[in-house]
Chains A and B, each alone.
Chain A
Amino acid sequence: MEVLLGVEALESGYGSIQVLWGSSLEVASNQCVVLLGVNGAGKTTLLKTIAGLLPARKGKITFKGADITGLKPNSRIAGGIGYMSELGIFPNLTVEENLKLGGYFRSEKDNRKRAGEMYEYFPDLRAYAKKMGASLSGGQRKMLGVAKTLMSHPGLVIMDEPSSGLSPKFVKKVIEVLKFLHEQEKLSMLIAEQNVSFLDFAQKIYILDKGRVSFDGDVQELKGNDTIRETYFGISR
């Protein structure tokens, strides 16, 4: 399989606090990867460093074979990395404006067509087109976040906890949508989560623990591994 995103021995952090201590991972084309880890494990730091919001202190990031470690965030986004933060949207702008910003560096015409497709995927959003992002329900906000990210036709979608703040019912729905998009748009995804519901949908799983990758493998391997089961789900039978 062709490697789309490569992260090698990445170190990063905030000010005097180092959070990542040499994390490596790979996302292949057309692959869904879930990055699991508890609060404070460094998931968001890792994603932000990949997007360029935080500088890499050591290590290397490649995308489609090219070294992007030193690029500015906007060049990385324009290069085909879509990023959905935990917040995901601009609450003080309308749904329409959110979508427009999602495709900021693409042509007006292209944006209009793409927005049309997004309204097809998420019919709810069309009704709210002129409303503020803040007026949407939690689930709808996540949908808008996904739609906004897809506006730029990214080759890879990075998501930071798409389940956060959602009730189990909506988490299920988000997963369904992502599954559908994965098939429909041949999307590659890197999803940071704590919610184990995302596991079944991942083709590959990394576990991040105190800024280091402590496990990589598929769901079967994860489920067969007792220590990890206990550490991360708490209850052993």
Chain B
Amino acid sequence: MKQILSVVLLLAMGWFLVGLVPLGQPTEPGRVAQHYIDNGIDENRGANLVTSVIVNYRGFDTLGEVTVLFLSVAGAGFVLRRRDGLVRHEHRPSSEILQTGARMLFAPIVVFGAYIFVHGHLSPGGGFQGGAVIASAVMLLLLADRSHHLPHGLMHWLESMAGFGYVMAGVAGLVVAGSFLSNQGVLPLGTWNRLFSAGIIPIIYILVGLKVGTELSSLLDVMIDTGRPARQEGGRS
């Protein structure tokens, strides 16, 4: 009965969605977007307009987004902190070949992640993507070698400093140009389409990349280190 009900509900919702969406009509940018497109280069010098929108025009939202990510990681860490009902994994080293490969690949993957977040204002990519790539390198290392310990002190320091730096960049805009996270006059805007351009945008994206990378790495560390249930039997699966 419930199954049929849910199918009917879904069909109704699908019908509603299909009616809501303008199928097959190309959309033109709205008034705000047209302003960003026309003036984005003059105001920010970042070739990637999406980055300009995220880090500058809607930079305050991104600060909130970074906070949400931090809170969810902190929440996951808090939920998984208590270990009652769980025992630690017994230590089973993986193959020597795999460990060597993981350690060999770690550095290139981190460089690739750094490349992505440093070039966030020039090409597709940015702090969140680059941070995720770096976290994938850490995951590779952790999965290949469970005995590997992350430098938690360094990571916490980096993470807090990155968040602090983001807010400080915003305050600098407030002091110099009179509005939080303003990009005018804080740093020279530079030339279009070169690496050192777009004022504080690359700085903020580098900070976001470091923050996301360290946050996701600690999340993976907590999840891998959780252990398995003490009892195996019982319960429908």
- A-B interaction: no
Interface residues of A (CB under 8 A from B): none
